[in-house]
Structure 1
Amino acid sequence: MSPSWSLRIRAGRDLAPFADVPVAAEVLVDLLLDVADTAVTRQTAEALARVGTMAAVRLIALALAGADDSHADWMQTGVHDALVGPDSVPDVAAVCERLARDAEAAVRRGAAEILAWADDATR
């Protein structure tokens, strides 16, 4: 991965539409949990929330399982930015409701947390 935070942010934005591709998904989770710069975390979470597919939101939910409080806060900020921004985004809450039935417990927990964020953002 690039040592440049700006290139890692760009990678998160560019790869977000490919969240369903295993290689891209692996890189996106690493970007969500970026150890060097939480701006990468925030921007990648926002990009994935803007894509809003099951695969994209699932990656945020999955990353939450391995996130410390700081990374979780920045993921929440990124999701919030996507939901309240001027551009319309897919219904992240509806995706989270479907992910609540995911086979993986970590995804179910993360989806519940993201659903709470979505509820807060739309109030």
Structure 2
Amino acid sequence: MMSGLEEALAEALSPSWAQRVRAGRHLASFADVPEAAGTLVGLLLDAEDTAVTRRAAEALARVGTVAAMRLIALAVAKADDNQADWLQTGVHDALVGLGGTQDVAAACGKLVQDPEEAVRRGAAAVSAWADDTRC
């Protein structure tokens, strides 16, 4: 019998966008687990369906931990313009729905000190999105 993590990792490989969205939601709580982290970045940068990108970003922003926000920051740094728009939309969805801009801003504040330049760049972008949401 597979664990919830193993099931979500398997579901993330599905050709069905709906199953990949579901996987992203389940995996978000495992953002600090290396096996899940790589898969989550892949879902954030899903090349086949923007709904996967948007909903994975939303789920991770709702978690709001440094580990979750680091994955979004990495994806932002690697994203093309279209993907970045959907990442921003997903983060915005989470922030508006919860009013959780403080957690996201605090996590991004820590990530702007990250040793990895791509994370710093992505975290600065996400932090600006959170600031825009507060206005």
Q: The TM-score by the shorter chain falls in which range?
A: over 0.9
Residue of structure 2 in register with 1:61 after alignment: 73
- What residue is the counterpart of 2:16 in the other structure? 4
Q: Number of residue pairs matched?
A: 122
Unaligned runs of 5+ in 2: 1-12
Q: Is the 8 A contact 2:65 2:103 kept in 1?
A: no
The residue that corresponds to 2:116 in the other structure is: 104
TM superposition score normalised by structure 1? 0.96
Whole-Å separation in 2 of the counterparts to 1:68 and 1:33? 9
* 2:29 pairs with one of 11, 14, 17: 17
Work out which of the residue numbers 100, 105, 111 in structure 2 matches 1:93.
Answer: 105
Structure of greater Rg: 2
Paired with 2:116 and 2:60, the residues of 1 have a C-alpha distance of 19
d(CA) in 1 for partners of 2:83 and 2:23?
A: 18
Paired AA for residue 110 in structure 1: G
Q: Which residue of 1 aligns with 2:132?
A: 120
Could you tell me which of 49, 54, 78 is aligned with 1:37? Answer: 49
RMSD, aligned CA: 0.9
* d(CA) in 1 for partners of 2:78, 2:70: 13
Q: CA deviation at 1:65?
A: 1.6
Gaps in structure 1 of 5+ consecutive residues = none
**Percent identity over the alignment?**
69
Question: Match for 1:10: what amino acid?
Answer: R
Q: Distance in 2 between matches of 1:88 and 1:18?
A: 22
The structure, 1 or 2, with the larger RCO (C-alpha pairs under 8 Å, 6+ apart) is 1
Counterpart Cα distance in 2 of 1:120 and 1:111: 14
Asked if residue 51 in structure 1 is aligned to residue 63 in structure 2, the reply is: yes
CA distances 1:8-30 after superposition (whole Å, capped 9, x unpaired) = 00000000000000010010000
Deviations 1:24-80 (A, max 9, x none): 001000000001001000000000000000000000000112100000000000000
> Counterpart of 1:7 in structure 2: which amino acid?
Q
Q: Indicate yes or no: 2:20 matched with 1:28.
A: no
Q: Are residue 84 (structure 1) and residue 92 (structure 2) matched?
A: no
